[in-house]
Amino acid sequence: MVRAAEARGLEVGDLLEGAGLTAGFLEDPDSRIPAKTVLALWNALRERSGDPALQLAAPSALPFGAYRVIDYLVAASATVGDGFRRFAQYFGLIADALTITITGDEDGHSVSLTTADGGPVPAVYVDYVFAALVTRIRMRIRPGLSLRRVELRQPEPADASPYGVLFRAPVRFGAAADRMCFSAAEWGAPTELADESLVRLLEEHARILAKGIAARGLPPASAGFRDEVQKAIVSTLSEGGSAAAVAGALNVSVRTLQRRLVDAGTSFRELSDAVRSQLAEGYLGDPKVSITEVTFLLGFSEESAFSRAFHRWTGESPGRWRRRAR
């Protein structure tokens, strides 16, 4: 929103200062801003711009990759519905106080936005999130994305035309819920260039793994089964990197996987910890990657679980390790 206002030639430094924020704080991927502060700043930006629909236009200015992990996971999806599901699954990277819920049947699907406890979300947030979802999908994986309709709790604004321009679908105001509706055909429609983004994500994993090994002076994994398992762990981290996922990637049973690793003088947990700890240090060494993003990249479901694992690997918390490394 700040960048969208600046792109229109507006001065926003005083608004940031009034909110107790700095440009540097906004650039820090580990920064978290209270929702009330965000809402007050967004409203101030809308007022200064003279555009009450600034929140609808702002996401379009974000280049692909600005949402990092989420963008690449969405782009790797095979269908429109898969893309929306991944966005919903990892939405906590952006706003953990809100929840995206997907419901549907063979006739169609809907994407709803509520607070974590199921309550209504401020209208400006709804506008921004829905605009971000639609523009991310259209930007990379489904340029012709078609919505059946959009339902919004908010009353109809004086000028509703920006909503029609963005969504390209009927918009009903004063509805019972905030949701976007899609036909079954559109939900199941194939995406474009999905594999390419998936490959890029896996290449980034591999690059950081190699960087971490070199930085710590460790020899590369020996050729053979251990090497295959390491690669399979990296490639299945988006699924959690479990022994079952790795065994499936290698076309062996979990029992065979564990037995062959024992024969090689190691265990699945030992090898998984080694891979994840090296990846973690590589990611944490990049100031553009937040600790929350590292959590998801390494296949952990919660940041607390990653923090405990990282402390077991290094004796330090991720935050303290990052500060010391800097």
What are 207-251's pLDDT values in tens digits? Answer: 554 444 444 444 444 447 888 888 888 878 877 789 998 998 888
**Residue 193 — pLDDT band, cuts 50, 70, 90?**
low
What is residue 198's predicted lDDT score, i.e. its pLDDT?
58
Please choose, from the candidates 212, 206, 251, 253, the residue with its C-alpha nearest in 3D space to the C-alpha of residue 231.
Answer: 206
Residue 15 φ then ψ, to 5°: -70, -40
- Listed by start position, the domains of the chain span 1-51, 65-187, 194-325
What is residue 222's predicted lDDT score, i.e. its pLDDT?
44
Please choose, from the candidates 188, 259, 292, 203, the residue with its C-alpha nearest in 3D space to the C-alpha of residue 284.
Answer: 292
Tell me the pTM: 0.70
Lowest mean pLDDT among 117-121, 139-143, 145-149, 187-191: 139-143
Q: What is the pLDDT of residues 268-282, one digit of tens each?
A: 999 999 989 988 988
Is the CATH number 1.10.10.60 carried by domain 194-325?
yes
What is residue 128's predicted lDDT score, i.e. its pLDDT?
95
pLDDT > 60? residue 206: no
Cα 255 from Cα 270, distance rounded (Å): 16
Q: Amino acid identity of 108? A: G
The end-to-end CA distance of the chain, in Å, is 29
Average the pLDDT over 28-49 and give the result: 89
